[in-house]
Every structure is written in C-alpha cells, then in structure tokens.
Amino acid sequence: MQQLKGRTAFITGGASGIGLAMGRAFAMAGMKVMLADIETAALDRAIAMLRDVAPDVRGVACDVADAGSVEQAAHVTREAFGNVHILCNNAGVAAGGGIDTISLDNWRWVIDVNLMGVVHGIKAFLPHMRAHGEGGHIVNTASMAGMNGGLGFSPYVASKFAVVGMSEGLWGQLRGEGIGVSVLCPYFVRTRIGESGRNRQAQYGATPSLDPASPAAQMLAELARRLEAGLDPADVAARVLDAIREEKLYVFTHPNMRADVDERFAAIQRAMEGVTG
C-alpha cells in the first residue's frame, strides 16, 4: 500500500510503546489515526501528544480480550473516520511462570490478550476491509519469542508463536485481495510490557507473587534490564511503515537475532533429513 495519506489506521495498545510510536508515524504520514487502549489515562495523554502532530487523531477505550469491546471500538472508528485501511493488532502483555509454578490465570490472561486479541481485531475489521474494496493492511505484533523458544515454557512464547503462524496463514489467504499482512517480530524495545500487570483485568485474578530467588523472578529481572536498554519504539514504527508500503510479511528489528533463528531452522532441517518413508 504505497498511498497512505488520507487513509485510516486503528491501533490497539496505542497509548504507549510501539503502538504510540506507530500512531505518531502514521499521523506524520498524513493518516487518520484511532488509538485504542485499555489504559484510559495514558490514552488521553497519547491523544493530546499526537494532536500536536496531526489533527485527525482520536482514541477509544478497548479491552482486546473482550470481543464485544473490540467490535464497539471498530464501530466508533468507522463512525469517526469512515473506511479503515490499516489494522494494527499490537496490544500485548507478559507474565512470569515457568515449569515450577504454572499459573493458569497467567496463561489465560496472556493468551486472551496476545492471541485472542488478534483474532478479535481480525474478526471486527477484516470483513469491513474486504467490503470497502479500497485495499488495506493488517499488522500483527508478535516477537522474536515467536521465532525461537529462548524464553522457555511460557504463555508469552506460546502466544507469539501462534501469532506468527496465524499471520502466515492470513497472508496466504488474502493474497490477491489487495489486503497485505505483516507480522512484527521485535526483540527488546523500550516499552512498558514488563509492567503490563498494571492493566490486568479482574477476571484473571491478582498477579501471583514470585520468590525473588526463583529462576522465573531472575529471568523477569533480566528482561526488565534488557527492555530499558532496548530499541527506540520509533525505529520499530519506521520499519512497520516500510513493511506496509512494500507489502512485507515479516518485520524484524534486530539483525543480530538471525543466528538464533538459523540455529532453530538448522535443527529442523536436520530432523527432516532424517525422516525416511
């Protein structure tokens, strides 16, 4: 999709981090932008910030784990701006765990937001995109955790692998319809995902406490340190904008991660070579 000026974008998790950076990049490209987020105070601040960049920026409260909430946000967006062309299923959360203490509430929360949130977005917007016939693009935020299992047995890894697979399948099905698909797989970016428990919905219970000496707690502490030193979200947004214009399926942000991916693919290839009829 080369021509973006005047088009409309809907972004979940739009009040901060990568979502807010995408909103800014889209606004600067002349697009109309609807930021959607569960954190309403942050959403208000984000809208005020982006209106200094472009006038056609609005916000809507949205819980991506709730299909009805996403449908309502889609309705509000169409009422405000008309046809929607860019859908960014970006909202995401992370929770600790591991194999020693498996919290089912953590799993349900992360899967409902990271995976079902993408499903809810596609369900709410794809029929509309196909009907208006003006073309479009869907960007699903996954992670390098969706390309290798380096973070171990966790709901985050499971959800991001699922988003990668779902995006690949969607890309194949929408080829020829004028609707592109990209799956964003960043490594460490300066976002607040390490604090995502601040928006945890009541139905998933309180965030379980971890023993500070446990492997899971130590891994979370290390992840927090890496996030602080991570890539600027604006750099990620620039890559997303390029992917939309060039209709790229995969969007990577850290070339140094290629070795980890190559190692996994090489192991798969070795295993396939050993398969006999």
Give the residue numbers annotated as catalytic, written as ranges: 156
CA 255 to CA 82: how far, in whole Å? 38
Taking residue 204's Cβ as centre, other Cβ atoms within 10 Å add up to: 21
> Which of 49, 46, 48, 50 lies closest to 32, judged by CA?
50
CA 196 to CA 198: how far, in whole Å? 5
CA 96 to CA 103: how far, in whole Å? 9
Residue 44's region, left for phi above 0, alpha for psi from -120 to 50, else beta, is: alpha
> Which of 117, 133, 261 lies closest to 196, judged by CA?
117
Taking residue 229's Cβ as centre, other Cβ atoms within 10 Å add up to: 8
> Which of 8, 19, 123 lies closest to 66, judged by CA?
123
Query: 97-128 burial by CB neighbour count: b if 16+ within 10 A, else e?
Result: bbeeeebeebbbbbbbbbbbbbbbbbebbbeb
Amino acid at 117: G
CA 1 to CA 179: how far, in whole Å? 8
Structure tokens at 179: 């609707």
